[in-house]
Amino acid sequence: MEAAMNTNTDKTSYKKGGLFWSIVVYGATLALGFAVLVEMINIFFYDPYGDDYFLFRTAGILAGYDISTLTWIMFGSLVIFLMAGLPLAFVTGGLGCVFIYMVGDQAMLNILPSRIFPMMTNSDLSAIPLFIFMAAMLEKAGIIEEMFAVVYKWMGGLRGGLAAATIVASTILAAMVGVIGAAVVTMGILALPAMLSRNYDEKIALGSIMAGGTLGILIPPSILAILYAVVAQQSVGELYMGSFIPGLMLSGMYVSYVLLRSYLNPNLCPALPKEELISLWEKIKLLKGLIAPLFLVFLVLGLLFGGIATPVEAAGIGSCGSVIVAIIQKKFSLLVLKEASLTTLRASTMVLWIMFGASVFVGFYILQGGQAFITDTMLGLGLGPYGILFLMMFLLVVLGMFLDWVGILLLAVPIFVPIVKSLTFPGLFGLPGPAAGDVALWFGVLYIINMQMSFLSPPFGYALFYIRGVTPPHIQMGTIFKAAIVFLIMQCIGLAACVIFPAIITYFPNLIYG
């Protein structure tokens, strides 16, 4: 009886809370609608540039504010609306339009097409839907499940072999997919039950899936690298080549950690029983199913790294090749094609809408002097070039706890990149720093590694919630947080290595592209 009463009380409280927020939302909507109506009357029936107006006027009311005050108003409004759960694309785009109007007037809104049109005509962005389609087609056709099964059989005989196999499969998957959410969820569905049923330590099992899945943002063909290249005016090929070695380095660190922990404590991750093991010849025969998809991946990356094809051309070959691979594997159907196309449409639309909205918001902020304000503020802290770099890295990880990677890219990179280019990095601990011409490339890869870290950062890292959606009910969120921390520390070590030894990033791009 008492439990029932408590339940009823909770339901009543929930209804009251829901009613309160409904009233707040509806009230704010009505107030906004009224303000728009008044402003429309001012525009159509009063002199827009005179002193006469109806009730009140919002055009130009922020014109007298300096950039520091405007910074607090703009980004404070952005935080409030995002915390209310509104979509990033429409918040940034909508606030951008509102602040353009409130600082200027309706004539100033003409800058909107000048911000959006160059992106609409940028050919490099065509690679995004093509790479997404390639990933979606390989996923829908069941190639990923087959790949994990092969790696699982090859490495299952080792202690910690299933966790290591998960990381290796995720590394290969990163070269196919390039989208973290799909990689974490897919490997969570495939690998987690296999590891838990064999008494693997929950934290190692969860951590290997999350850390391996985040490699998709770093290892080519990364969608993030394409967007970064467009925003920062960098070469996509150089970014791909620069991020490839750090990606493999992190993957090797994850595998080494899992195998070492399992060797030191065999009870953490036991090997497969002998009756489940297969012979070497059977393992070799299993590789037959991976020849076509792996050939496709190496073809796409080879064309990119060799400078033979542009990212768009390589993406087109990859998307066409994914259909051919699905046909060869006898997994192609009109339903698979439809599902892959719809996945591509949803993902591409989301990315492009966020790009347009954030471009308006940040573009207007920079136009008002925001770039100079942030630059002067950071340079005035007296931190030195590496201190400023560390501050940027910290801010990016914090932003990654609350925003998705596309939003962070478009909000932070246009402001950070000019600051980094203006600095000279002499090197740490007596070691050489990056050459002046390599600073933008170096920072770009550091930024991508930072985004990988943000996906694992408790309490709001996206990968934590991706894996939560496919875990058994008995696994608590605290266990997922603990599982992420060890791998997050390894990512910090990898990031520090790339800062101290810039050649990890710049050596191969300079070797290939000069």
- Reported as a single tens digit per residue, the pLDDT across 17-73 is 556 656 766 777 787 777 777 777 766 776 655 566 666 667 667 777 788 888 888
Task: Determine the average pLDDT of the residues in 482-493.
Answer: 90
Cα 412 from chain centroid (whole Å): 13
Task: Determine the average pLDDT of the residues in 161-182.
Answer: 75
What is the three-class DSSP state of 116? Answer: helix
Nearest 10 degrees: CA dihedral of 140, 144, 146, 148? -150
Residue 5 has pLDDT above 70, yes or no: no
What pLDDT score does 46 carry?
67
Q: Categorise residue 23: left if φ over 0, alpha if ψ from -120 to 50, beta otherwise.
A: alpha
Residue 509 has pLDDT above 60, yes or no: yes
Burial of 118 (0-12, 13-18, 19+ CB in 10 A): exposed
Determine the Cα–Cα distance for residues 451 and 505; give it in Å rounded to an integer: 16
What pLDDT score does 57 carry?
64
pTM of the predicted model, to two decimals? Answer: 0.77
What pLDDT score does 436 carry?
82
What pLDDT score does 14 carry?
41
CB 221 within 8 A of CB 240: yes
pLDDT tier for residue 510 given thresholds of 50, 70 and 90: confident
What is the three-class DSSP state of 279? Answer: coil
Task: Determine the average pLDDT of the residues in 411-429.
Answer: 85
CB 170 within 8 A of CB 212: yes
Determine the Cα–Cα distance for residues 153 and 161; give it in Å rounded to an integer: 9
CB 156 within 8 A of CB 165: yes
The string over 371-389, giving b where at least 16 C-beta atoms fall within 10 Å of a residue's C-beta and e elsewhere, is bebbbeebeeeeeebbebb
Out of 42-46, 89-93, 393-397, 466-470, least confident range? 42-46
Residue 406's H or E segment, with its range, is helix 405-421
- Which residues touch 478 (CB under 8 Å, ≥6 apart)? none
Q: What is the DSSP letter of 178?
A: -
Residue 187 has pLDDT above 80, yes or no: no
% pLDDT > 90, the chain: 5
pLDDT tier for residue 271 given thresholds of 50, 70 and 90: confident
CB 167 within 8 A of CB 251: yes
Residue 450 has pLDDT above 80, yes or no: yes
CB 368 within 8 A of CB 68: no
Q: Give counts: helices (H), strands (E), the chain.
A: 22, 0
What pLDDT score does 4 carry?
41
Out of 75-79, 153-157, 335-339, least confident range? 153-157
Higher pLDDT, 12 or 231: 231
pLDDT in tens, 273-297: 776 667 777 777 777 767 777 788 7
Q: What average pLDDT is seen over the chain?
A: 78
